[in-house]
A and B are shown apart, each in its own frame.
Chain A
Amino acid sequence: MIPILGLAAGVLLGLFFDPTVPLWLQPYLPIAVVAALDAVFGGLRARLDGIFDAKVFVISFVSNVVVAGLIVFLGDQLGVGAQLSTAVVVVLGIRIFGNAAAIRRHVFRA
């Protein structure tokens, strides 16, 4: 319940304030969002599997975001930022797909 409320409130706030993303954050924000989405999907799956742990969720959420940002930052420093962010997005996308499949199996039993 709380995550759903938090998400909804966050989206509403974002739409309402419509802030400008600072330039230094622009390459990292989309990656961070994808990473956080991965964590959320993982948490949802764990919840459906009955093994949800708030601590794990929080830590995985934060670490996902941080690691994804770090990878992109590193890539930027090495001059392969675009490629590395693609890689991060691909990996996280695969994980999201996997988690979504598990969730689907739980919800639809198929």
Chain B
Amino acid sequence: MSEDQRSGAPGPAADGPGDDDVVPHPFGTGASGGPASAAAEPPGGAAAPGSTPEPVPVPEPVAAPEPAAAEPAAAEPAAAEPAAAEPAAAPGVDDAPEQVPEPAPTTADGDEPPPAATPAVARRRRRDPLAAVLIGVLTLLLGFAFAVQVRTADDESQLTGAREEDLVRILDELDAQEERLRGQLAEQRSALEQLTNSDSRAATALEAARQRAEAIGILNGTIAAQGPGMEMVIRDPEDSVGVADLLDAIQELRGAGAETMQIDDVRVGVSTAVTGQPGDLMLDGRPITAPYEVLVIGSPQDMETAMRIPGGVEQRVNGRGGSVAITQSDEVVVDALRQLDTPQYASPRTDD
């Protein structure tokens, strides 16, 4: 550090605005602000009077002329420089600014040796390297602490600096807030529970509705059905089985617990009509032909019993020259479908 300052012209230029302080009185210009005083240095040295201080302070009057020749090339020996400065200043104006600062460091380093001739200039103090380092370290620490403190003040909500009453108040507020939040939490929890409940209730209701729809669909004939039941074939070789006989069979089957049935691929529903003449019967307007094949789901025994009951369907058909063949089955499939009768006038009654 110190060598840099001594060896070159830029050194002093940089030092001037730095922390080193120059007491500029001798040459007038420097009495004012920083830049001015910095500027004051070189003119002081460059000017002829500048040489006056220089020659004097030489503490060790070494053989001046000899180093002078070597000096411009390598300006290392600090002690030799001041000596070199005097001759150099005289001949070369260019050299002058370079060497002017050099005597200064020597005086500053000692910090004491006021030259006899110019006591005023003696007060020019070049920077002591130790001081420079100290100043640098101190300002570095200051900057560091400053930044850290700013960050810290940002981070913390100034709780550390708060008084006890404030802290107590803040604590109370936080407690109240916690209480509020807890209340909200409980509310939300119960809402969640309700929603879950209603969700499961809705699912149950949906399931029930689906089952009802299925049951109604089976009864109505809009969906296919399967289950235990029986297969009954009514032969009518003489075309004498009439509407009343077939209707009677359907009613008897229903009475015996038939749940759904089809006759010759026509599904029998609540509003099914049997029309036509014997041998030319129609079910819901669709013609059916003998032998009439009846597929019915229900309790097989009950239905067979109902068919064979004296004075029942079998007997009447036999009386007309026909016959009834009944086959019980564990698995009867009724897969003919009906169009759903959409009520035109009736609508579900609302309870409200």
Contacts and interface: CB of A to CB of B under 8 A. Distances in A.
B20 interface: yes
B135 A3 contact: yes
Interface residues of A, number: 44
Contacts of B132: 2, 54
Instruction: Decide if the interface of chain A is mainly helix, strand, loop or mixed.
Output: helix
Nearest to B25: A50
Interface residues of B, number: 43
B170 interface: no
B22 A2 contact: no
Contact of B145 (A1, A27, A36, A82): A36
A40 interface: yes
B166 to A, nearest CB: 11
Contacts of B20: 52, 54
Contact of B138 (A18, A26, A58, A82): A58
A29 B145 CA distance: 7
Nearest to A82: B163
B34 interface: yes
B21 A6 contact: no
B139 to A, nearest CB: 3
B151 interface: yes
Contacts of B128: 54-55
Contacts of A33: 142, 145-146, 149
Contact of A54 (B24, B37, B127): B127
Interface stretch (B11-19, B87-95, B181-189): B11-19
The 6 A-B pairs at the shortest CB distance, nearest first, are namely A10-B143, A14-B147, A6-B139, A54-B131, A52-B21, A1-B18
